[in-house]
Structure 1
Amino acid sequence: MRVLHIITGLGVGGAEQQLRLLLRHLPAECDVVTLTNPGPVADGLRADGVSVTHLGMRGNTDLTALPRLTGFVRRGRYDLVHTHLYRACVYGRIAARLAGVRAAVATEHSLGGREIEGRPLTRGTRALYLTTERLGAATVAVSPTVAGRLRDWGVPGPRIHVVPNGIDAARFRFDASGRRATRRRLGVPADAYVVGGVGRLVPGKRFDVLVEAVAAVPGVRLLLAGDGPEREALHALAVRLRAVDRIRLLGECDADGVAALLSAADLFVSASREEAFGLAVVEALAAGLPVLHSTCPAVDDLPPDDAPGATRLRDGGVRELTDALRARTTAGPRRLPPPRAVGRYDIARGSRLLMDVYAHALDTARPDRDRPEHFHPYPTRRALP
């Protein structure tokens, strides 16, 4: 089976790194097109032997990208097109239909209740998504929570398939020697209590709440992996709170860098306002860390016994998180065995589930399936987020 994956960009992000990990386990011949930003993940994919093409799209409304993408899909003679992230889903599903590909599948990685990929949802965003969704054969939700949001949007239930994000759990297993080495490299005392955080530095992740809580508990240190538009504001906040010597913004980290951080930490915190899955929380659980989280479908959608080390915060505000940190530091650090939740999210299992979706899409798709009678193949300028 020849599959073309189309993604909006390949910078360091959850969806982008998930695609790279997935392609290492997917039993299909796969190529990748990135509409924009062929960043570090593109380099990683090429190192894995995957063909990556940069389409050179200049923005959300660069309509010249559509015929280029359609031509690329047609020349590749792919059996199936799989799209990732909003812009790629809109343009990719249209291009797949115009190129005559038998079936298209889209994964919805980042749909929140009020946001999509960190941006506010608008009526235009939703309308364009639903219009182009009908051009595909199936839509993959990364959690039951996202599946429910898609149904609430109006996507028919039979078209939605839950395939959770996955991890390579062995990669995040606690490493005592790695813990010592990472702390030495970062100048963190061996006996310090360290909080870890991972994610793109954007307002929705609420890392400002985490910085304020850590600053309020003397002696606690924060290691934060990720980059984004909030980096300077978070640094300024740490300076203003006189905690800059205890708070390290590490920048973008690959999976090995995240694994090293998790081994060095004593507690993981996710204060995000909304999540579609919560991959970093699962990675932290695989490392044996206790976790405090505001929202995390990867844990919240499971029975409590599947992730006993994860504690959900009531409101996730600064006061509640500060009190929780004080209690954890008083109790001291502890490592836990990886819970059942980690096994549920094994990447090999996820790849098998996705292959089942591919088979279903190819078996049920028809050349004219669900084609709107008056569908115009070019998206409007104001509808894209």
Structure 2
Amino acid sequence: MPHVFFLLSDLDYTGAAKQGSLLAPGLARAGWSATVFSLAGNGPFTDTLRDAGVPVLTSTARHAFKWLGLRWIVPPPDRGVVHAFGLPALRRLWGGTLGRARPKVVVSLTGREHLTRFDRRVLRLPSRVLVPHGTAAGALVAQGVPASQMTVVPPAVGEAPPAPDRATFIRTHGLAPDASLVVSVGRMDRRRALLASLCAFEFVRYTDPAVRLLLIGDGPGREAMEQTARGIAPEGSRATFLGARPDATAILGLADVVVVTHPAGGANVTLEAMAAARPVVAVRTPDLAPLVQDGWTGILAEAGYAPGIAGALRKLLLDPGRRHDLGEAAAQVVREHHAVGTLVRTLETVYRE
């Protein structure tokens, strides 16, 4: 049985951890022996992986032990493939296995990395660098990574889970029965990925008294975001902060529109909304533009321009038929190009090269 060893920086609510939680079980179903190792201990996806029968190894040790511990865990050259997610994981793999025979290594990068001289040296280790789109490949090639080393592997998304009962959800969160729900999901950190969603919503809420914004996510920037919401609408904000939710993907199924305004990243929530046949308004960034075909599977708006995002959102809220058509087209594209099984077959080809 072929073996793949996934090496991740963490199992928190991150894009890499989400992809690992989908692809490792998918490879196991395809006949691979898959193991996941998290360098930062357990996280929200630990149980997801273990429930799928994927062994999860973790480390909470600091400094040298975390690096050297990989020497005893990483499989030997004849026993499988190591798939590292991100430069931090690849650096630790390089340091932890220095001086010993290494197995085949591939690494997934975003294309947003700023490579140091040391990073370029570390990137000699993997036989393949996997990137989510052509723009990411171009960004790395411009920093000296050989184009021949690149393979484009789009992100995967699982099947949409059933949405919660709408009436119960509305009642639990004190929303009006006829509320239109706009949902935005993201980590609330210093990048302030959800701030543009909040600002755009403020344009819309004055023209539609029934609309409500649900913000899902947590992080060190949450308190500042809540203060911003109160400052923008001192008479009473219609934005509800739900915090980090393990059922965030299911909640997307209740949305009338999903807004994705991440300045970087955001692919997972975009694909999850599309899989649930929800219409998406996303900002035009290198990470999101390849996923949303403007006017067919969603609407693209200019990043950082709240009035433009608000205009697209307002038009969709007024047009249920348009929302339905966009959502159905999006779900079809996801089934054809981003299903876990499809991406597992792509990875199998890469691993066996």
Q: TM-score when scaled to structure 2? A: 0.86
**Alpha-carbon spacing, 1:98–1:31, altered in 2? closer, same or farther (3 Å):** farther
* C-alpha displacement of 1:42: 1.8
1:87-143 deviation digits (Å, cap 9, x = unpaired): 1111114435644133111111x432xxx4xxxx4xxx4322211010111111122
Does 2:222 match 1:231? yes
How many angstroms apart in 2 are the aligned matches of 1:17 and 1:68? 24
Map 1:21-170 → 2, pairs under 5 A: 21-26=22-27, 27=30, 28-58=32-62, 62-73=63-74, 78-96=79-97, 98-108=99-109, 110-112=110-112, 116=113, 121=114, 125-169=115-159
- Structure 2 regions of 5+ residues with no counterpart? none
Bigger RCO (CA 8 Å, 6+ sep): 1
3-state SS of the aligned residue for 1:38? Answer: coil
Structure 2 counterpart of 1:21, one-letter code: L
* C-alpha displacement of 1:284: 1.2
1:40-86 deviation digits (Å, cap 9, x = unpaired): 2123222322222222243xxx2442222122225897421111122
1:305-326 deviation digits (Å, cap 9, x = unpaired): 8x71311112432232233333
Determine the structure 1 residue equivalent to 2:200. 213
How many angstroms apart in 1 are the aligned matches of 2:75 and 2:156? 31
Does 2:270 match 1:281? yes
* C-alpha displacement of 1:16: 0.5
* C-alpha displacement of 1:300: 2.4
1:215-252 deviation digits (Å, cap 9, x = unpaired): 34233211122111211111111111237652122222
Tell me which moved more, 243-252 or 81-90: 243-252
Tell me which moved more, 93-102 or 259-268: 93-102
Determine the structure 1 residue equivalent to 2:3. 2
1:195-234 deviation digits (Å, cap 9, x = unpaired): 1111211243531121122234233211122111211111
How many angstroms apart in 1 are the aligned matches of 2:192 and 2:134? 21
Determine the structure 2 residue equivalent to 1:189. 176
Q: Residue 248 of structure 1 is aligned with which of 234, 240, 245?
A: 240
Percent of pairs identical after alignment? 26
1:8-59 deviation digits (Å, cap 9, x = unpaired): 111122211210111111131111211113212123222322222222243x
How many angstroms apart in 2 are the aligned matches of 1:312 and 1:22? 28
Determine the structure 2 residue equivalent to 1:263. 253
* C-alpha displacement of 1:350: 0.3
1:306-365 deviation digits (Å, cap 9, x = unpaired): x713111124322322333333334458323143431211111001100100001xxxxx
* C-alpha displacement of 1:302: 6.3
How many angstroms apart in 2 are the aligned matches of 1:197 and 1:3? 34
How many angstroms apart in 2 are the aligned matches of 1:99 and 1:3? 19
How many angstroms apart in 2 are the aligned matches of 1:150 and 1:70? 28
**Alpha-carbon spacing, 1:206–1:85, altered in 2? closer, same or farther (3 Å):** same
How many angstroms apart in 1 are the aligned matches of 2:133 and 2:99? 30
Determine the structure 2 residue equivalent to 1:341. 333
Q: TM-score when scaled to structure 1? A: 0.80
Structure 2 counterpart of 1:163, one-letter code: V
How many angstroms apart in 1 are the aligned matches of 2:303 and 2:317? 21
Structure 1 counterpart of 2:141, one-letter code: R
Determine the structure 2 residue equivalent to 1:325. 313
**Length, aligned pairs only:** 339
* C-alpha displacement of 1:303: 8.8
Determine the structure 2 residue equivalent to 1:367. none
